[in-house]
Structure 1
Amino acid sequence: MFLCLYLHSLLRNNNPKIKITMGVNTTTAAPKTYSQEEAFKASLDYFKGDDLAARVWVNKYALKDSQGSIYELTPNDMHKRIAKEIARVEQRYPNPMSEDEVFDLIKDFKYIVPQGSPMAGIGNPYQIASLSNCFVIGNDGDSDSYGGIMKIDQEQVQLMKRRGGVGHDLSHIRPKGSAVKNSALTSTGIVPFMERYSNSTREVAQDGRRGALMLSVSINHPDSEDFIDAKMEQGKVTGANVSVRIDDEFMRAVKDNKKYTQKYPIFSENPKKTREIEAEKVWKKIVHNAWKSAEPGILFWDTVINESVPDCYADLGYKTVSTNPCGEIPLCPYDSCRLLAINLFSYVEDPFTEKASFNFELFKKHVAAAQRIMDDIIDLELEKIDAILEKIDADPEGGEIKSVEYNLWKNIQTKAKEGRRTGIGITAEGDMLAGLGIQYGSDEGVDFSVKIHKTIALEAYRASVYAAKDRGAFGIFDAEREKENPFILRLKEADEKLYYDMLEYGRRNIALLTIAPTGTTSLMTQTTSGIEPVFLPVYKRRRKVNPNDKDSRVDFVDEVGDSWEEYVVFHHRFKEWMKVNGHEITDDYTQTELDELIKASPYYKATSNDVDWLSKVKMQGAVQKWVDHSISVTINLPNDVSEDLVGKLYLEAWQAGCKGVTVYRDGSRSGVLISNEEKKESEDGESNSPFPTTRPQTLNADVVRFQNNKDKWIAFIGLIDDKPYEIFTGFADDEDGILIPRWVTNGYIIKNRNEDGTSRYDFQYVNKRGYKTTIEGLSHKFNPEYWNYAKLISSTLRHGMSIDKVVDLINSLQLDSESINTWKNGVARALKRFIADGTKAPKQKCSNCNSSNLIYQEGCLTCQDCGSSKCG
């Protein structure tokens, strides 16, 4: 039985190794495989030298089996695989697109780009996985029994192992202290279950990734404040994003400074528990935590529900309860969505010239094709779900163990068949506007973006109506249910013929549109991400070089002896602007010259740090009117903004019609409290630490070189008010081209973010030509063991321990490793430079006369009795 099901699964997915003829199994020649290096080299040529895009594609999307054998050499091999499968589905319906037609739309990431799971999974015979990017789950009847809670826990794990991101809402769980009929007598509330779900997420690996989880709760729930505070304690709920569902009544109470009544069950006419709160006080807590740690996000739930087309079918199982992890797809329990992005920059003709224009006719044609492809992907997803169900059937576990997983996928299958939800989005909005010479965030920019998204809405819905005519409407379509929906009414106002065609033929898909983040997708389209502006038009990277190559330039040698060349990286479309406008693309620009280039370009004052935050919120609200799901967008703020500004942005987002909003204040992730106890303050209200409680993004830094025995060392010491705040140190190289040139004695330590959201520390200095040079990932340059001790020492410095006491602490460390002891001595020596002259040395005696009358003098330990001095 298992063998039959397994072979059937392989055949369904077009496994190239298996061929069945007249009931006889014949094995064909194994397909050609490539090494990682072969695929990377070919992809590097494909991406015209963009090694980051090449590595991302090879590692995440190239077809490979569980042994790591790679079956695709370049992305166009992948595009052919996808086109073949889409064309196979097309043959089921009237007027099918050919494989070549589909390939021309998706090749080179130029026009239509299936995202993530569809890109990796379509036509993949080596992996039994879903094509859905995201899911929402929940219990029938909102059960908050332990059985129901454990069922959700298992369901999210089962989905994550199939590569899906998951969201679910906790508003159904009884608040803390509620009576329960078990030995505990009262419930523990929401927070312990947040931790359970978070921990489960962290345990699941998805092709080398952790799972992704969104937890939400209604502000109407009596435990919502505990939910809001849960992530403020270090180490808690680290495996989930959290968002608060906020209703209009609460927002009005905030505006009018009124009280608000929380209930359980939420919004019940006959609640078991009520709690009256000061709305503004809770609002300030939300704002403070978001300012401090970038969470919680906010979901304006009445806007979500009122605008939702699927909620017209709430009584049939389509009541929206939560969102996917990035917030762009609000979903009902057991529904899922697949994502696709349209590359907006590719429709700009003669970009960066006075003749630049947007080809709306081609764009409309391709939006229709994209919606058709999305509908085909639903059929492919249903095949994948069949394979998953067959796999579960064939698994050796008993039926009782498999029942939760089996029923989960049956529920998902039902929703996919019945609603046929799609997720068409975009990428390259920032580059599109720049290519047209329109400043991102300007009134003109907002107006043009709205025109683009209105066009997508009309053409995607038109394509869904025509698909319904040819293929049939989604199973529960009922125009009467939708007639008062605000989104449908906007379509009617914009295009009455489309509306009346929809009344006649129905619609193929229950909901169609979104704007998702397109992180790795935008690396491969080589454009700005999603709806966001450009992050930076120019930045700096490194490449490894062979120091024996006479043509190589060695800017520094790292701690393991590898040689590196630093070079300027231009954002791909900024480079295109340079070419069009006759600017040479070279590494030889000074920082001043680069600044002048940016000033002359359409990217000037249009980066993520430049765009006026309130205008970005208004733009999101205006575009949201033409997106039936939601928009994933983060408002990036500098470190020094006030909490009041965050509150104003949230309020403006609600008034502008946004469905959700997230802010990220630069460096705010490091502002999460170490414990759930607030720092004690002195009587005058000042912190008892002399340093800021949140690390500034940029610190002045001293570079200290020293030698222990034959080893040469280097230390980077971050300073506040000329006092040590943090330290990074380790071995330096013997060559002049070490991490930095020998003449560099100071610079800046800058806290930055990696693409995955983790933090890193970079060192920046100004070279002799006035050009800024940055060394990325300073915290990872040295031995990890050194770094762990450096964190301990930096912590003591940041909390105000006097430097002489810190040096004494370092000297007292009992360490087994000789190299660590050498490192320890070097750190002590580096920090001694900052001890004020005349400071008495604790617990030490002169090695010459045994006197304890020792003081620090210019960083050296000097005996006041005999005059001997020791600087090591």
Structure 2
Amino acid sequence: MAVKEIDPKTESVRQNYTYEEAFQSSLEYFNGDELAARVWVNKYALKDSDSNIYELNPDEMHWRLAREIARIEEKYPNPMSVEELYGLMKNFQYIVPQGGPMSGIGNTHQIASLSNCFVIGDDGPSDSYGGIMKVDQEQVQLMKRRGGVGHDLSHIRPKGSPVKNSALTSTGIVPFMERFSNSTREVAQDGRRGALMLSVSIQHPDSESFIDAKMEQGKVTGANVSVKIDDDFMQSVVEEKEYTQQYPVGSNKPAYKKDIKAVDLWQKIVHNAWKSAEPGILFWDTIIRESVPDCYADLGYRTVSTNPCGEIPLCPYDSCRLIALNLYSYVENPFTDKAKFNFELFKKHVGYAQRMMDDIIDLELEKIDGILAKIGADPESDTVKRVERELWENIRKKANEGRRTGVGITAEGDMLAGLGLQYGSDDAIDFSVEVHKTLALAAYRSSVDMAKDRGAFPIYNSDKEINNPFINRLFAEDSTLKEDMKKYGRRNIAALTIAPTGTTSLMTQTTSGIEPVFLPVYKRRRKVNPNDTETRVDFVDEVGDSWEEYTVFHHKFVTWMEAKGHDVTKNYSQEELDALVAQSPYYKATSNDVDWMKKVSMQGQVQKWVDHSISVTINLPADASEELVGNLYVEAWKSGCKGVTVYRDGSRAGVLISNTEKKEEVVGKFPKKRPQELDADVVRFQNNKEKWIAFVGLIDGKPYEVFTGLADDEDGILLPKSVQTGKIIKNREEDGASRYDFQFTNKRGYKTTIEGLSYKFDKEYWNYAKLISGVLRHSMPIEDILDLVAGLQLDSDTINTWKNGVERALKKYIPNGTKARKGHCESCGADDLIYQEGCLICKSCGSSKCG
């Protein structure tokens, strides 16, 4: 029930609501869409730090946003009214503030930033421990205020470099990756971890170690990683030439240089991305060449990294807030012969969105002042508070000086479908480019008009921008824009992006961002109590959990069905559903259907009209080759993309199941007879102060057998730390007994064999290892084997330590190094995870995880 309280500051009545009250009201608002209702209540309803809820539904939120933005409007000529602003935002129809602005504007209960994205690290930062610790603290301070953070590691000296302290030589980049990753995991944001992007230049001598760091189980789990690739490297790959790495990166007088085969490092990047969807690729020369803020690099606006999803390249201490226009709402008479896009209304609303974004900068400056006041009032000493205070002072300066904005879109896939255009077709790509060109011109026109009324951003200088390709592209389309910008300046240093809109699109009930529809029809699974006789059980998984399956329609697919006169209440058979989809504009236009090269080409063409960048994922089937991934990357570079992410189905946990007839799931069986030779991984770990080692025999990359025990003792195995792979070979002793040997290739290229893994370790270990290897060979899922091992009741402390080692070794072969089964949401357990725009998103509860 609702509770009325007296606010001690204002003596006014303040009402807060229970979760169930807000959910039920929001459920009615979203016409029964449970997912949209829960997402709104969980993420965006007005709350205090104790999670008390002060809004019943999104309509109250939109009035809150309208009142606050209108308050800022009153500072400037020709202000927009509360009613006008509310009309643009209500029902998520036209303009949708995203993330921090939606939840934070007008929230006096929490002291938090409105910015979605930050980049930190001084321009040319020191690689001293002091400099590194400063960045670490800045990262934590931003994440506790809700910010996603990116920073670059290219300034850290490579491994083995001399240092002037007791360590004598540098440890290189990787240990600091782990430090920053761990810091991210320590900071919770509404019960979820923060988001971090780590980047490094391909020119850095440690870039290969950076690329490999996340391939080791349990390492750098709190960060996304991207490689900044320059044109020289890409050209060296295409021409199969050598490439020079150096430190310092970009220096005319490097202290260290080495030549590498560009193709070899490229193949490593491609393989890792094919296997794990990381690292991401940033085409850095394209980013810098096209960047408008980099025209002011001498004034502190040199771009150094990106935010966690890569759509906002930023200079140190700059930040950005995001807003999206719902493209589907500008389609008149969708899914009919009379369908058309209302460009005039769209241009008008883009201008309003840019203006609202500028207002939100003023609201952010107020928030930062509140944060600084809070820091000043904190009881810690000035010495303790110094880094945090200077961080926010730097962020305030950049926000006020550059007034950067992030106007973007959502529902591109539904817009095209509503117009009868197949996503990925030449006509659809041409139309999308025209929409984004219109958006860019209208946003920059609005920024110029605001400069006339409100003043240009303080460091605007037309001479500095004279050779910028993006600005000149706009001027070529609109000569009056050039004249007016030179006369009045521009209000914002940069304006546009295409960001992930995963949870936003759940509330707009559309496709996400620039992406096509994931699936027009799909199945969800809901875990049920098998003892509940009122619930249908459609599926029992391998561990006995019961699930109900039900068909879900994409919202705008239902709109298409209604437009074409199809019964939306009928219980369709699979054959009927397939026939319906085949008739619709969504046919062959899903994220898995769209021609991959066409999608890359589309991204490159649209990028020419986006001054920041685009968050988009190229979805590939599980059987896609590494060669295809490499070809897509090269095409992305050639077509002018600023970055690209490739996701191969199954390379990360979590996909929706397609709505096809459920067939009996056949688990791939291992051969009954053990092959004489097996590929093997070497897994090292430490329990307490003891060093342990495991040899895991593989078939098709899956664990088949395991040997593990103490390493480096007189009875154990001495193995160079550089050895990570080899072969386990089954041989016969003279008495006929089996013997398992490990063979590897040493640095000199000679094969070395360690005989008798089966008796190098303690006999008791070997007996348990045979048990575990036995269940591995019968294809029991790794998650269940870990449960089995964890449940072993063993007497000795030593054998329990061994048991823990087996668990740690086998966890390497579970996606993301967790116990979550493929496709199961860690928050709600539903089987509704999809990977989109660099994030895992649960279609049941709305939880999201980047990286």
Name the TM-score, length of structure 1 as normaliser: 0.75
Alignment of 1:555-594 (within 5 A): 555=537, 566-586=549-569, 588-594=571-577
- State how 1:391-790 maps to structure 2 within 5 Å: 391-541=374-524, 554-555=536-537, 566-586=549-569, 588-669=571-652, 691-693=699-701
Relative to structure 1, the CA distance from residue 545 to residue 584 in structure 2 (aligned partners, 3 Å threshold; closer, same or farther) is farther
Tell me the distance in 2 between the aligned counterparts of 1:239 and 1:268: 31
Which of the residues 48, 59, 63 maps onto 1:80?
Answer: 63
Following superposition, the deviation at residue 681 of structure 1 comes to 10
Are 1:170 and 2:153 an aligned pair?
yes
* Whole-Å separation in 2 of the counterparts to 1:596 and 1:539: 14
- Asked if 2 retains the 8 angstrom alpha-carbon contact of 1:428 and 1:530, the reply is yes
1:441-467 superposed Cα distances (whole Å, 9 cap, x missing partner)? 000010000000000000000000000
The question of 1:93 aligning with 2:101 is answered no
Tell me the equivalent position of 1:748.
none
Matched with 2:190 is: 207
* Residues 294 and 662 in structure 1, CA contact (< 8 A), matched pair in contact too: yes
How many angstroms does 1:797 deviate by?
6.2
**Deviation for aligned residue 1:800:** 3.2
- Matched residues in 1 for 2:548 and 2:595: separation? 36
Matches of 2:771 and 2:366, distance apart in 1? 55
Instruction: Give the 3-state SS of the residue equivalent to 1:141 in structure 2.
Output: coil
- Is 1:155 the equivalent of 2:138? yes
C-alpha displacement of 1:566: 4.3
Match of 2:11 in 1: 27
Q: What displacement does 1:588 show?
A: 1.6
RMSD of aligned residue pairs (Cα, Å): 3.0
Query: Per-residue displacement from partner, 1:369-408 (whole Å, max 9, x unpaired)?
Result: 0000000000000000000000000000000000000000
Instruction: Read off the aligned partner of 2:572 and give its amino acid letter.
Output: Y
| Amino acid of the structure 1 residue aligned with 2:322 | L
Q: What residue is the counterpart of 1:143 in the other structure?
A: 126
| Aligned equivalents of 1:169, 1:622: Cα separation in 2 | 27
Asked if the contact 1:218–1:246 (Cα under 8 Å) also holds between the matched residues in 2, the reply is yes
- In the aligned structure 2, how far is the partner of 1:557 from the partner of 1:440? 34
2:806 maps to which residue? none
Matched length: 688
Asked if structure 2 preserves the Cα contact closer than 8 Å seen for 1:221 and 1:264, the reply is yes
Q: Is the 8 A contact 2:680 2:698 kept in 1?
A: no
Structure 2 residue aligned with 1:299: 282
**Unmatched tracts of structure 2, length 5 or more:** 655-673, 682-695, 704-768, 795-851
Number of the residue aligned with 1:364: 347
**Would you say the 8 A contact 1:690–1:800 is kept in 2?**
no
- Higher relative CO (Cα under 8 Å, sequence separation at least 6) belongs to 2
Once the two structures are TM-superposed, the CA of residue 139 in structure 1 deviates from its matched residue by 2.2
Q: Aligned equivalents of 2:443 and 2:434: distance in 1?
A: 14
Alignment identity in percent?
70
Q: Distance in 1 between matches of 2:790 and 2:232?
A: 60
Give CA-to-partner distance per residue, 1:422-454, whole Å, 9 cap, x none: 000000000000000000000001000000000
Query: What is the Cα deviation at residue 565 of structure 1?
Result: 6.1
Whole-angstrom distance in 2 between the partners of 1:326 and 1:68: 27
Secondary structure, counterpart of 2:28 in structure 1: helix
What is the CA deviation profile of residues 495-536 of structure 1, one whole-angstrom value per residue up to 9, with x for unaligned ones?
A: 010111100000000000000010000000000000000000
1:811-830 matches, within 5 Å, as 814-815=792-793
Superposed CA deviations along residues 27-51 of structure 1, whole A, max 9, x for unmatched, are 222x121111111111111111110
Structure 1 stretches lacking a partner, 5+ long: 1-15, 20-24, 672-679, 696-791, 817-872
Q: 1:141 to 1:686 in 2, by over 3 A?
A: closer
Structure 2 residue identity aligned to 1:84: R
Q: 1:505 to 1:599 in 2, by over 3 A?
A: same
CA contact (8 A) 1:691 1:800 kept: no
Paired residue for 2:777, among 790, 795, 800? 800
Mapped contact 2:178–2:220 kept (Cα < 8 A): yes
Looking at structure 1, the residues matched to 791 and 75 of structure 2 have their Cα atoms a distance apart, in angstroms, of: 73
Q: What letter matches 1:120 in structure 2?
A: S
Q: If you compute each CA radius of gyration, which structure gives the higher value, 1 or 2?
A: 1
Give the 3-state SS of the residue equivalent to 2:647 in structure 1.
Answer: strand
SS of the residue corresponding to residue 120 of structure 1 reads: helix
Question: Which residue identity does 2:700 align to in structure 1?
Answer: P
Distance, in Å, in 1 between the alignment partners of 2:646 and 2:771 is: 28
1:249 aligns with 2:257: no
User: What's the CA shift string for 1:771-794, capped at 9, x where partnerless?
Assistant: xxxxxxxxxxxxxxxxxxxxx999
Distance 2:636 2:213 in 1: 24
Shift of 1:541: 3.1
Q: AA paired with 1:357?
A: K
- Cα displacement (A) at 1:213: 0.2
Q: How far off its partner does 1:420 sit?
A: 0.1
Equivalent-residue separation in structure 2 for 1:141 and 1:395 (angstroms): 31
Pairing partner for 1:48 from 31, 35, 38: 31
CA distance in 1, matches of 2:779, 2:545: 38
Alignment of 1:255-334 (within 5 A): 255-334=238-317
Pair 1:337 & 2:345 matched:
no
3-state DSSP class of the match of 1:669? coil
Residue matched to 2:102: 119
Paired with 2:569 and 2:548, the residues of 1 have a C-alpha distance of: 14
Take 1:797 and 1:190, find their aligned partners in 2: how far apart are those partners?
40
Please name the residue that 1:852 is paired with: none
Amino acid at match of 1:359: N
State the Cα distance separating 1:207 from its structure 2 match. Answer: 1.3
Query: Which deviations, in whole Å up to 9, do the C-alpha atoms of 1:789-832 show, x marking residues without a partner?
Result: xxx999846853799xx99x97997549xxxxxxxxxxxxxxxx
Following TM superposition, by how much is the alpha carbon of 1:302 offset from its aligned partner in structure 2, in angstroms? 0.3
Query: Residues 2-44 of structure 1, C-alpha deviation per residue, up to 9 Å, x if partnerless?
Result: xxxxxxxxxxxxxx9658xxxxx65222x12111111111111
* Stretch moving more, 561-570 or 293-302: 561-570
AA of the residue aligned to 1:349: E
C-alpha contact 1:613 1:635 (8 A) present in aligned 2: yes
What per-residue deviation string (whole Å, max 9, x for no partner) do you get for residues 693-724 of structure 1? 169xxxxxxxxxxxxxxxxxxxxxxxxxxxxx
Match of 2:179 among 180, 183, 196: 196
State whether structure 2 residue 390 is matched by structure 1 residue 387. no
